[in-house]
Chains A and B, each alone.
Chain A
Amino acid sequence: MKRFQVLEHTADLKMRVFGNTLKELFQNAAFALAVNQKGNSEFKGECLIKKIKIKAKDQNFLLIDFLNQLLFLSDTEEKVFGEVKIKRLDEKNLEGEAYGYKYRELNLEIKAATYHEIEIKKEKGTFVAEIIFDI
C-alpha cells in the first residue's frame, strides 16, 4: 500500500498520507515528513530514540501537533525521525518513541505542519489525511 503521495500546491508542500489503521497513518505521516526532509527513505545507521507524548483536542490536531513535535526534534537534534513506534493512540493522546537518523544534508527545510483543513477520513477502509506543510 502506498504510504504517502505528494500533491500540487502553489507555495507549500501538500501530502496525502494513508494507513490501514490510525497508528499506521500516524507512522506513515512521520515517514512522509522525514522522506521529504531528507530527500530519500534511507534511514540507517545509529539512531537516536526520543520519547513522544502529546495531548490534543482531537485526533486531527493530534496528528499535526505530532508532526510539529517531530520537526522540533529534527531541528534541535539535527536528525530526521522517519520511524516511529506508537504505543498509545486515542482520541486525545499519543505516546510513543521516535527514531532519529543522521543525514549529511537536508533536501528540504520544512517550517511546520499546518492545521489547514486537516481531517482524517476513511475512504474504502483506508485512513487518509491531507496535510499542508509550510516550507
Chain B
Amino acid sequence: MISRENLKEIEDFLFEIPAEFRKEMKVPVRIYASEEMLEQIVGDRSLEQLVNVATLPGIQKYALAMPDIHQGYGFPIGGVGAFREENGVISPGGVGYDINCGVRLLRSEISIKDLEPHLEEIMEGLFHEVPSGVGRGGKFVVRGSELDEVLKKGVLWAVKKGWAFKEDKECCEEAGEMKAADPKMVSQFAKKRGEDQLGTLGSGNHFLEVQRVVEIFNKEKAEKLGIFKNQITVMIHSGSRGLGYQVCADYLRILQKSFQKWSSELIDRELIYAPIMSEEGQDYYGAMAAAANYAWVNRQLLTYLTREVFRKVLRGKVKNVKFPLVYDIAHNIAKKRVHEIDGKKVKVCVHRKGATRAFGPGEKDIPERYQDIGQPVIIPGSMGTNSYLLVGREKAMQETFGSVCHGAGRALSRTAAKKKERGEKIRQDLEKRGIIIKCRSMRGIAEEAPHAYKDIDEVVRVVSKAGLAEIIAKMEPLGVLKGD
C-alpha cells in the first residue's frame, strides 16, 4: 500500500515516488495532482500499478500519473509511460481495450438563442439517427477489402466516400490515418465484430453531447480556434467498438503464449508486454494502429450523422448550419515518436491510457492553423458536467511526453453509484437544470452520474496550474445522448 508519506512534493501540483521506493523500479513515478486529490488517489491501487509500470524494461524518465488517475488493470487509467524503441516494451494494457477511445469537438456559427427553440427536436433526432450499437448494429456495414481500406486509410476512406471534409482529416490527431496500420495484423474475429459497428456510439461513458460555450479564458486563442461565448458545440466521445476490444483481447492472448521468449517473470499479468522490436511487438503496433484508424472513422461517421440531423431539423429555421471539426484526440493509444530526453533525441513508444496528447506551439505534428497556439486538447466532463477546451504547452513536451489528463476519472464504483442515487432521479435533476438526457436505460444514467466521477474543474485546474496546458473555453451540456 502506498500512502501520502511515500510521496515527495517536487513543486506545486507535482509529486514523486522516488525510484528507491522499490528496487525493481527503473525510474521514479510522478503524479500531477493537488494535495486534496492525493487522498483519493492513495485510496485505490493506481499508484501501485504505476510503480509496476516503472519496473518495465526501457521505460524513460518517469511513469506518469495525471490528476484523473484511477485504478485500471496493468496500467492505471490516467497513466503515461514512454519506452525506448530499441530496448523497451509495448503493452496492450498500456493502451486499453478500447483502442483510440477518444473525443472530438465540433464548432458552429450558431448561438444558444437560435438553437434553444429546436433543442428538443435535435435531441430526438439524434436519439433516432445515431445508433448506440449495443446489440443493435450501425448504418454503415463494411466488410472484406473495404474494411481493410478503413483500417489502413482511416479518415481518408471517409473523405473518398463523401462522409468527411478534407478539413476533418486535417483537424484530426494523426490526420485520422496512422501510417503504421497493418490490417493483416487484425484478426478475422476482430474484423467480424467491426463489420456493422461503424458509426455507432457504444455504451458506458461514451456520449454525444450538444453544448454551449459558457466561458472564454483567452479570447485571442479562442478566436483562432473559432470559439465564442454562447456558441453551440458538439462533443462526441467514442472508440473502436468491438473491433478494438477484440484486437486487445487477441494480443493479450498471443503475448501470454510468447512471453516466455523474453522473460520468465511478470509483475502483473495485465502488464504483459513484448519488446517493441520483436515480431509480436510490431504486429501489435500494426494492429493497434489499424484499430485506431477504425475509431477515427467511427467518430467521423458519427459526425456525419450528427451534421445530417442538425441540417434536417434546422433547415429553413437557422442559417449556416455547419459543424466544422475543431480537433479530434485519442486518449487510449501508443505512439512511436522522437522525444528529447536529457538533451538527446530518443525514439520512444509513448503509451497513453486515459491520457491525451497535448503538444505545444511549433510542433510539426499539429495542423498549421494551430501552430501558433498549440494543439487543441478536448477534455470531456462526465454526464451533466462541464467540458473543457485547452491547448497544449511546451512544458508538457518537456515533462510528460506531451500528455495531459483525459477527463474526470471515476470516483465511485458502478454499484456504489447506483446505490447512491437512482437513474430516474438523476435524469430529473439534470432536466431541472435544463439538460435533456436521451438514454435507453436508467441504469446507464445512474452509473454515469456526476457524483460517480472526480471533479472535472479541479482536474483541469491542476493541469493548467502545472503548466501542461492552457484553458481556453468551458462548455456546458444542453443535451446528452448516451449509448445505452
Contacts and interface: CB of A to CB of B under 8 A. Distances in A.
Given A106-B135, A108-B203, A109-B203, A115 B269 contact: yes
Contacts of A6: 415
A15 to B, nearest CB: 11
A118 interface: yes
A11 B249 contact: no
Contacts of A117: 269
Given A107-B443, A109-B203, A135-B204, A115 B256 contact: yes
B248 A112 contact: yes
Interface string B390-424: 00000000000000000000111111100000000
Contacts, number: 94
A11 B71 contact: yes
Nearest to B204: A135
A127 interface: no
B252 interface: yes
B483 interface: yes
Nearest to B252: A115
A115 B44 CA distance: 19
Which size class do A's interface residues fall under? 20 to 34
Nearest to A68: B249
A114 B412 CA distance: 21
A65 B252 CA distance: 10
A13 B418 CA distance: 13
A10 B410 contact: yes
Given A78-B135, A116-B73, A109 B483 contact: yes
A39 to B, nearest CB: 8
A11 B440 contact: no
B91 interface: no
Nearest to B246: A72
Which size class do B's interface residues fall under? 35 or more
B202 interface: yes
Contacts of B193: 72, 75-76
Given A61-B256, A107-B443, A108-B203, A8 B416 contact: yes
B98 A57 contact: no
> A6, A132, A134: which has the most chain B beta carbons within 10 Å?
A134
A106 B74 CA distance: 28
A76 B135 CA distance: 9
A118 B249 CA distance: 15
A87 interface: no
B297 to A, nearest CB: 18
Contacts of B23: none
A111 B249 CA distance: 9
Nearest to A135: B204
A51 B335 CA distance: 38
Interface of B: 44, 70-74, 77, 96-98, 133-137, 189, 192-193, 202-204, 242, 245-246, 248-249, 252-253, 256-257, 269-270, 272, 410-416, 440-441, 443, 483-484
6 contacts: A8-B415, A11-B71, A68-B249, A68-B253, A72-B189, A115-B256
Give me the 3 closest cross-chain CB pairs, A-B, nearest first: A106-B135, A111-B245, A116-B73
Given A72-B189, A134-B96, 17 more contacts: A6-B415, A10-B71, A10-B410, A10-B413, A11-B70, A11-B71, A11-B77, A57-B257, A105-B134, A106-B135, A107-B443, A111-B98, A112-B245, A112-B248, A115-B256, A115-B270, A116-B270
Interface of A: 6, 8-13, 39, 57, 61, 65, 68, 71-72, 75-76, 78, 103, 105-109, 111-112, 114-118, 132, 134-135
